[in-house]
A and B are shown apart, each in its own frame.
Chain A
Amino acid sequence: MAEEKIILQIDSEGKISAQTQGFKGEICLKELEKLLDGIAEIQDVKKTDDYFAKQTTTASSYIQRKQS
């Protein structure tokens, strides 16, 4: 049984930082985009080395909502 985890930090200004754990490949980014669609505007994405390890390892992404 695998565990997919998304950790979001929301600061007092409403800015969001998100990090994924346990996703395989680029699914993590798709998942974050789906989660935040209509809620926050993605400003920046940093892909970790794990991101490129397709379907085999954990990928993490860092997403920030563009500050209004």
Chain B
Amino acid sequence: MSCRLTTLTPFINREFLLKALDACQYKYRIKSNQIILEQNLSIAYYDLVFEQDHLGKFVLHHDSHTNIHSLLTKLEEQYRRIEQEYIAELERQRIAAEKAQIQAEQQRVEAARKRAILEQQRIEAEQKRLAEEKRIFVEKQKQAIQEKARSMGYAVKEVSQGQNVQLVLIRRTY
């Protein structure tokens, strides 16, 4: 001989239980740690009361004459649905937070990348400015030498040698 049974889903979350009662449209009132159902069950001698047991789950106290099977089955269904929806919502929020974190990290990286690019551009601009400053100086210096040389009676010939410039000054004397 064998048997098989199932137990009721333990109602361990007070908030879910209250929402499940609302979903089932079971009226109740809260008195201290008790959730008292105001369900009109004709054969009930005593109130139906949910109270937490020593394990922490809410247990429905009732007299033995009351058939609460359909009530609990309906309540369990709603309790599980509400719990699942809440878990799903938590997961949705977790994913959203994770995405926000990734996005923030990407934005941080992107901001750092932009700062690095700006710094690189600043350095390159400074390098160009220095090079241009030298180029202008060298050009002025070259022109000054050429003018002075001509005033001293030299013929001036300019030869470009890579980055260097060669000036050949020639004067014929008799």
CB pair A1 B174 closer than 8 Å: yes
User: What are the interface flags for B161-174 relative to A under an 8 Å C-beta threshold, 1 for contact and 0 otherwise?
Assistant: 10111111111111
Counted as pairs of residues, one from A and one from B, with CB atoms less than 8 Å apart, the total is 73
Which residues of B in the span 135-174 have a Cβ within 8 Å of any Cβ on A? 135, 137-138, 141-142, 144-145, 148-149, 152, 154, 161, 163-174
B134 at the interface (CB under 8 A from A): yes
- Residues of B at under 8 Å CB distance from A? 134-135, 137-138, 141-142, 144-145, 148-149, 152, 154, 161, 163-174
Taking a contact as CB atoms under 8 Å apart, the answer to whether B164 and A8 are in contact is no
Taking CB atoms and an 8 Å cut-off, the chain A residues in 24-67 that contact chain B are 31, 34-36, 38-40
Partner pick for B167 among A1, A7, A14, CB 8 A cutoff: A7
Interface of B is mostly: mixed
Chain A residues whose C-beta falls within 8 Å of the C-beta of B145 in the assembled complex: 8, 10, 16, 35-36, 39
How many interface residues does A have (CB within 8 Å)? 22
Contact A1:B134 (CB < 8 A) given known A10-B165, A12-B164, A34-B152: no
Q: How far is the CA of A31 from the CA of B153 in the complex (A)?
A: 12
Q: B residues within 8 A CB of A3?
A: 170-173
A11 vs B172: C-alpha distance when bound (angstroms): 27
Give min CB distance, A66 to chain B, whole Å: 13
Report how far A3 CA is from B172 CA in the complex, Å: 4
Cβ contact within 8 Å between B134 and A13: yes
Central interface residue in A7, A10, A12, by most chain B CB within 10 Å? A10
**Nearest chain B CB to A50 CB, angstrom units:** 17
CA distance A1 to B173 in the complex (A): 6
Q: What are the residues of chain B within 8 A of A8 when measuring CB–CB?
A: 145, 166-169
Q: Is A12 a contact partner of B166 (Cβ separation < 8 A)?
A: no
Asked if A35 and B170 make an inter-chain contact with CB atoms under 8 angstroms apart, the answer reads: no
